[in-house]
Amino acid sequence: MDVSEKLLRSYATIDEDNDGRIWSWELLNTLGRAGIMPDDPRVRAALDGVRDAAGRPAITPYAQPVQLDFDTFAEVAQHAVVQQALTGDLAVPADEFAEFAHAVERIHADLLDERSGEVADYIPTLRDADPEKFGIAVCTADGQVFSIGDTAEEFSVQSTSKPFSYAIALEQLGPEEVHRWIGQEQSGGPFNDPLLSLGRDGRPHNPMINAGAIGTLALVDAGKDQSGRLTTVQETWRSMTGERPQLHGSTFVAERDTGFGNAAFANALAKVGKLYGASPTDRRAPEDANEFYTMVCSLTMNAERLARAGATLASGGVAPLSGRQVFSADTASRVLSVMGHSGMYNDSGQFSNQVGLPAKSGVSGNVMMVVPSKQMAVVVFSPRLDAVGNSVRGVEVCKRLVNEFGLHPYRAMGAERGRVAAHQIGGHMNEADKRAEAASAADRALGGVARAGSGGAAKVVAADGTGGAVKVADAERTGTTGRRTGQPGHQL
């Protein structure tokens, strides 16, 4: 089926009364169900100047709804994102995106009563954060968006700036030069451990710890004044998110004036000749490096914008709303690789085992998880932190989404081959293998996610088509399956 046929079918679906006209709001609702929001600048551009038969504009701040015939509809659909949404060619198909959004909504509701952890307290702006704030934002490579809760709440980006600072350095100098100064290995300790941050050659272990981020930013626009260097970082964020982040003054001043450990890192790097651009007699260089790092950590963000930045990494460096190639695909892959092993402070290994996806957290309570296989990013904002500095709710959201949608890249690898081998060797399987195969068969039939239940049965989660609620059906050990209704299974 070619594009024109798909558009005709889409138009006919929207035109339920078959009168050859559709309301502009019906088109916007159709796009919204695919995750393309009415306030998306690309949608507004597509409808800008479009008028109905009476000459009324299709979209203005105070316009009454207008009706569009097929020719006008086709004119709007010439814009790429509208066409992709109407023809089912978005990064995540509309039905899968809707199911993912329903799961996010449900998980958000489930975790509202989770109050473990404490807010960071080493500077006033973090200490005074409202611990009840909780938002989840999702963005795909095509700019499909879902958000719930406090996703517009501003916070300082903190350590979640580190992957993007690393990306800027890679773009400016290339990986060979960058890694002459910064390593690529786990540090083996906390992000601010003075004993474990530097390797034997004096380089910081990786760009995701404080010493590494200070050293990385020393590479960015070296030789320029601080305001020019900060502008470079801000404009890169603007390219990814569509908005320029602002420097949060009180956060910057408080962190600069209390950041004695970070000052020590900068001085240690300069002492061993691993602070880029610093001469042995330049006493200002370590101070400038630490100050620049603190500025970047103090930039303001919210979950929705941070999700766009994460989606830029998920799509090989292409910004979701503008389509601009902000970073090369090679840079994006390098950044995600380091996030995968060192992005979650001193729980990076455990997070990798449980979640298996690249992620980065910041002590303001944000967690950004990237799902490369789905060209998607998920960002959680919730200020209560666990013992190592990760958002308690943020980590839990990541775990639940990965488990529910089977997103862990290493789980169940070779499971089908293993079951075939069991048939071939000896011609029989033990009871545990039989139960696993029966659960897998039920899961495939229902399109859901099989999870071990009591007594060896499997629990299959399936959307019931009523606003995101789920039904949990028991799959019998014999492999008997039920019939799905509503949305397709958790195939995202």
Task: Show binding-site residues.
Answer: 159, 210, 255, 262, 293, 345, 363
Residue type for position 251:
T
What single string gives the DSSP state of each residue in 106-137?
A: HHHHHTTT---SB---SSHHHHTS-TT--EEE
With beta carbons less than 8 A apart as the criterion, state whether 411 and 373 touch: no
Q: Can you tell me the distance from the alpha carbon of 201 to that of 205, in angstroms, rounded to the nearest whole number?
A: 10
Q: Can you tell me the distance from the alpha carbon of 146 to that of 304, in angstroms, rounded to the nearest whole number?
A: 9
What single string gives the DSSP state of each residue in 174-221?
A: -HHHHHHHS--S--SS-TT-TTTSB-TTS-BS-TTSHHHHHHHHHHTT
With beta carbons less than 8 A apart as the criterion, state whether 147 and 137 touch: yes
CB contact burial 43-55 (16+ within 10 A = b; e otherwise): beebbeebebeee
Q: Can you tell me the distance from the alpha carbon of 261 to that of 190, in angstroms, rounded to the nearest whole number?
A: 13
Sheet with 449-452, edge to edge strand ranges:
449-452, 458-463, 470-475
CB contact burial 14-37 (16+ within 10 A = b; e otherwise): bbeeeeebbbbebbbebbbebbbb
Angle at the Cα of 227 from the Cα atoms of 367 and 294, rounded to 5 degrees = 35
User: Is residue 186 helix, strand or coil?
Assistant: coil
Binding residues for substrate: 159, 210, 255, 262, 293, 345, 363
Q: What separation in angstroms does the CA of 153 have from each of 41, 132, 251, 396, 460? A: 21, 12, 16, 20, 36
What are the tokens at 146?
């879902």
Q: Can you tell me the distance from the alpha carbon of 25 to that of 69, in angstroms, rounded to the nearest whole number?
A: 13
With beta carbons less than 8 A apart as the criterion, state whether 144 and 35 touch: yes
Q: Can you tell me the distance from the alpha carbon of 303 to that of 133, in angstroms, rounded to the nearest whole number?
A: 11
Q: Can you tell me the distance from the alpha carbon of 439 to that of 445, in angstroms, rounded to the nearest whole number?
A: 10
With beta carbons less than 8 A apart as the criterion, state whether 355 and 408 touch: yes
Give the residues across from 147 on adjacent strands.
137
